[in-house]
Chain A
Amino acid sequence: GAVVSQHPSWVICKSGTSVKIECRSLDFQATTMFWYRQFPKQSLMLMATSNEGSKATYEQGVEKDKFLINHASLTLSTLTVTSAHPEDSSFYICSAPRGLAGPGELFFGEGSRLTVL
């Protein structure tokens, strides 16, 4: 079964609204989670590293004020897309390291497809 759960799996919203995506690790604790973004038929681009109890680390070019990440507990990280616009429409996928493995071995969630009208 899934070990990383994402919710919602798909969401449609109007331009200018905010959308929150939840990522939960099931049956294990994750002090670090990674958020990726994937456009159709393209690769996964790392957006940010979510750190439990501290600020997220964003990749170059990712607007931290637009993509708010909160990692309030050892099993939950959230990504909020603020003031969403059509260009934010994408597939957002979270992941967490497997056990004591490093960032190379990740459990991925099922992804959340965001469509901004």
Chain B
Amino acid sequence: QQQVKQSPQSLIVQKGGISIINCAYENTAFDYFPWYQQFPGKGPALLIAIRPDVSEKKEGRFTISFNKSAKQFSLHIMDSQPGDSATYFCAASTDKLIFGTGTRLQVFP
């Protein structure tokens, strides 16, 4: 119930390409769905977030798509850059934040 499933585990994308990471959840009590970006040896940083009453949110090159009925949401990174290479975690929260398993993204020039 408290799990957030994330795929793929790793992703390799060419510079300029689109990176897509998918997540699914079971607990319908979750009311906030953020994405965090983490570089090696650092704490994660909030990237973008969405509430379940919205189907899509875009901030610059980053877009969240949310499907409430399917209990799925995804992160799209447009025009992926080498600087985007990091580990991405989807998450879901009620009174606490539960993280997905993470996706290691590598963007090659």
Contacts and interface: CB of A to CB of B under 8 A. Distances in A.
Interface of A: 4, 6, 34, 36, 41-46, 49, 93, 95, 98, 102-106, 108-111, 113
Interface in B9-54: 31-34, 36, 41-46, 49
Contact of A46 (B32, B36, B89, B97): B97
Question: Which DSSP category, helix, strand, loop or mixed, fits chain B's interface?
Answer: strand
Contacts of B99: 36, 43-45
A108 B92 CA distance: 16
Contacts of B101: 42-43
Contacts of B93: 102-104
Contact of B49 (A46, A104, A111): A104
A108 B44 contact: yes
A24 B61 CA distance: 32
Given A103-B96, A106-B97, A44 B34 contact: no
Nearest to B100: A43
Given A42-B102, A109-B43, 6 more contacts: A44-B44, A44-B99, A45-B99, A103-B96, A104-B31, A110-B42
B95 interface: yes
A48 to B, nearest CB: 10
Contacts of A34: 96-97
B102 A104 contact: no
19 contacts: A34-B96, A34-B97, A43-B99, A43-B101, A44-B44, A44-B99, A45-B99, A93-B43, A95-B97, A98-B46, A102-B95, A104-B31, A104-B34, A104-B91, A104-B93, A105-B46, A106-B97, A110-B42, A111-B43
Closest 3 CB pairs of A and B: A108-B43, A104-B32, A104-B93
A44 B44 CA distance: 9
